[in-house]
Each structure stands twice: as structure tokens, then as C-alpha cells.
Chains A and B, each alone.
Chain A
Amino acid sequence: MRSQVVLRVIAKLLIPFILVFALYVQFHGDYGPGGGFQAGVIVAAAVIFYALIFGLPTAQRLVPEWLVETMVALGVLIFAGVGVGGLALGGNFLDYFVLSADPVSGQHLGILLVEAGVGVTVSGVMLMIFYMFAGRQRGRHSER
């Protein structure tokens, strides 16, 4: 069908730009609007777009479920790891200024890592929720 070809071509053109924009929002969140949450949602939206156009099994071959599950837990681990790192290097929990020789660059590094962790978790969770909803078959009834 002609319309399906149009959708496929547009999707293949747009999805790389969406992913690059998500990376831009993630790392430019220090200098403009943006940050971890927005970037995570945009990454999830790009993969959901791909899954809507090309089908869920294709998308699950591209971003398999074990990878998404790992991302969900990894982001929280990064965040808590930065906190414990601050504890190990002599400060309190979630102190960033001990992470580097210069306190301001330590803060900058801490914020970067923390936002990256948040972005990974948010994109993982949004994508996981979509996989769960889309993978559920319609009309199944549990035994009551």
C-alpha cells in the first residue's frame, strides 16, 4: 500500500534525527532547557515510533528486552553510585565537590553523571512499559 511506503520512508529519515536531538537535549541540559527526563522520553519516543511503523518483533530485535531491563536498573545504580562515590571520597552522600580536584568541576561532573543516570532509567522504563502494553494479547481472560 502506498501509504505504508510513505510512513516507512519518513520513519527511516526522521528516527536518526530524533535520536541525535535526544542526545543534544541530554547533554545540553546544562546550558539550555533540557536534561535527563526530557532526553529519556525522546529516546523512548523514537523507539516507540520505530515499533509502531515496523512492528513490535522488529523493534524487539533492535532493542531487546534484556537490554531495556538492564537500562531500567542501571540508571538508578549510576545515580546511587555517584552518591556512594561522594561518600567514599570523603564527603557526605551525594556530595559532588569531592569528585574532582576543583570543586566546581566536581559539581559539573556530578551533575553530568546524575543526569545521564536519570536519562537512562527514564528511557528504559518508558520503553519497557510500552513493550508490556504492546506485547499483551487482546482478549485474554484469566481464570476466575
Chain B
Amino acid sequence: MMAATVVAITRLRNLFAVVVLGSLYSFLMATVLVVLDAVDVAMTEASVGAGISTVLLLGTLYLTKSEEAAPARRPLLPLLVALVTGGLLAYGTLGLPEFGEPDSVIHRHVAPRYLEQGVAETGVPNIVTAVLASYRGYDTLGETTVIFTAGVGVILLLRRWRRRSPDDAGKGDRA
């Protein structure tokens, strides 16, 4: 179903429909993530992807126009590049371990230590929160700074600066 949604997003030219389908895609991704036991990630993806992203895209569509122009020529070279990239990645995934095996390599180093000693060391049963806020807290500080920077960037780009000096009387808002 996600594949069908993505194909529809590619082909549709009405951008409002594209945005709504994008929100649907985020919800489907959130349910797939719940099946894969990633409950924190699913909650974040549902709220951020289907909520905030959709609101921002709709806001942008309101401020610009909501129809995409028809492509001038058939995009064969981009299709080829995308297919070659996909083919190489699919070949690369053949090296990944078997799906769901409990003793593959990735479950052997740090993860069992966090799972076994997380509650004893931090007192927090949700291991994802414990790792995010305590064991890897420095990364979370960096991420918070990234969000802060994005907010500052949007303020710089989109804020209206009003200048009411006598010789600017005819100009109004500076863009």
C-alpha cells in the first residue's frame, strides 16, 4: 500500500492531493513501525510526519500555487539514475543478516548491556528514553540545537520587519 501511495504521489500534479497522500504515507509508515516494535519512533513519525509536515506543506501551498506544471520532456535519465541507485542498494541489502534473528551481530555489543543494566543504572524502564537522554545525551543536546537553529532560520526568512521612519513612509513593509 505504501508503494501504491508513493507511485500516486509521483504521478499526481495537483499538489494538495500530493500533500494529503504524503500524510497518509506517514501514517502507514507509523503502523509499519509499530509492527517492527519501534513504538517511540512510530509515535514521533505519526505526530511529526502526519501532523507538522502536513500543516507546513499546506501553509506553503496557500502562499504559493497548488498545481504542478507538466514536465517538458520525458525524464528518462533521472529514471535510469534512480533505478541504478535502487538496484545497487537492493544488491547491498543481500548482505544484511537474516530478518529477526536474535543472535545476529548487531544484537551483541552495546545493546544487551543497555537492556540489562539500563534500569539499574538510570531507574527508567523505557530504554529508548534512557539511551536518548542519559547514555547518548550529548547527541540529544546537538539535536535540540538543530531544532533551535531551524526555528531561528525560519524566523529570519519569514518574519515581517516593519520600519516606520519618516522617509520610509511610502514603502511599507520591507520584504
- Residues on A lying within 8 angstroms of B by beta carbon are 25, 29-35, 37-38, 41-42, 44-45, 48, 69, 72-73, 75-76, 79-80, 83, 93-94, 96, 104-105, 107-108, 110-111, 114-115, 117-118, 121-122, 124-126, 128-130, 132-136, 138, 140-143
Contacts and interface: CB of A to CB of B under 8 A. Distances in A.
Contacts of B44: 37-38, 41
Given A41-B47, A41-B52, A111-B122, A129 B133 contact: no
Nearest to B60: A133
Interface of B: 39-40, 42-44, 47-48, 51-52, 55-56, 59-60, 62-63, 120-126, 128-130, 132-134, 137-138, 140-141, 144-145, 147-148, 150-152, 154-155, 157-160, 173, 175
A76 B134 contact: no
Nearest to B126: A30
A110 B126 CA distance: 15
Contacts of A30: 124-126, 129
9 contacts: A33-B42, A104-B122, A104-B123, A110-B137, A111-B134, A114-B137, A125-B150, A132-B155, A132-B157
Contacts of B126: 29-35
Nearest to B47: A41
Of listed A42, A124, A128, residue having the most chain B CB within 10 A: A128
A36 to B, nearest CB: 8
Nearest to B147: A125
Contacts of B124: 30-31, 107-108, 111
A80 B148 contact: no
Of listed B55, B128, B132, B138, residue having the most chain A CB within 10 A: B55
